Amino acid sequence: MNRFIRYFFFSFLFSPLVSKAQFSGFKDSVVQLYGVVMTADSLQALQGVSIMVKGQNRGTITNRDGVFSIVVLKGDVIEFTSVGFKPKKVDIPKDLQGNQHSVIQLMVNDTIYLAATIIKPRPTREQFERDFMNTQIPADNLEIARKNNDENTRRLLMQSLPKDGREASNQYLSKQAAKNYYNGQLPPQNIFNPFAWAEFIKAWKRGDFKSK
């Protein structure tokens, strides 16, 4: 109990001294940064330059004379950015003597080269009509489906594409049914079947027997 009272007494006695030392250390690290921002080529004052402390959400901008002022800490990194100029960074020295620091920051123009643009005169009415009529419009899904459902296209696809499982099984079952139907007797000859001759004539007219 006596040890606890002794610890509390010494803490109460020396806490103001510790707080005062911490405050003195923080006060010594605070720096008033001020200066002017100008163009590097003509030394003209730049208005509206953004001045931000890196890693922190605070900063300021220059006035119409390019002058600024901001409170920073020793060791901070200050970023200068403006549209049309290359960004710049300034380090506040950690061993800076005193609590004030001034800078004259020169900003260099940031040149951006764009791709060449070729300006052509407006086309005549004849040229516009010619180009409009010769424009190839890509087919949409409806047009593609319409072309795929064309009779010639479907016939070509039937000859080139392999049969799927359903078509193969139906063909096999049809052959088995015909074989079982004529089981024990000779099957009829289609050469005497008028329906078979009619299908043969239609296929001949379509050109199914032409050499590919």
In a shared domain, residues 180 and 100: no
In a shared domain, residues 134 and 177: yes
In a shared domain, residues 61 and 113: yes
The domain tally of the chain equals 2
Is the Cα torsion angle 144, 145, 149, 154 positive or negative in sign? Answer: positive
pLDDT at 170: 83
Asked if the structure places residue 7 within a domain, the reply is no
Among candidate residues 89, 119, 149, the one where a domain is terminated? 119
Bridge-based pairing state of the strands 100-107 and 30-39: parallel
In a shared domain, residues 48 and 113: yes
In a shared domain, residues 142 and 104: no
Asked if the structure places residue 110 within a domain, the reply is yes
pLDDT, block means (10 residues), the chain with 212 residues? 50 48 58 92 92 91 93 92 92 88 92 83 85 82 80 79 79 81 71 74 76 56
In a shared domain, residues 41 and 102: yes
We report the CATH number of the domain holding residue 75 as: 2.60.40.1120
In a shared domain, residues 83 and 147: no
Asked if the structure places residue 211 within a domain, the reply is no
Asked if the structure places residue 11 within a domain, the reply is no
Distance (Å, rounded) from C-alpha 197 to C-alpha 199? Answer: 5
pLDDT at 105: 94
Asked if the structure places residue 163 within a domain, the reply is yes
In a shared domain, residues 43 and 115: yes
pLDDT at 6: 53
In a shared domain, residues 78 and 93: yes
Among candidate residues 92, 119, 146, the one where a domain is terminated? 119
In a shared domain, residues 169 and 198: yes
Question: Cβ distance 71 to 99 under 8 Å?
Answer: no
Question: Cβ distance 60 to 44 under 8 Å?
Answer: no
In a shared domain, residues 93 and 150: no
pLDDT at 21: 42
Query: Angle at which helices 151-160 and 141-148 pack, to 10 degrees?
Result: 70
Asked if the structure places residue 84 within a domain, the reply is yes
Bridge-based pairing state of the strands 67-73 and 59-61: unpaired
Determine if the pTM surpasses 0.75: no
Asked if the structure places residue 15 within a domain, the reply is no
Among candidate residues 78, 96, 119, the one where a domain is terminated? 119
In a shared domain, residues 46 and 107: yes
**Structural domain for 140, as ranges:** 125-206
Asked if the structure places residue 10 within a domain, the reply is no
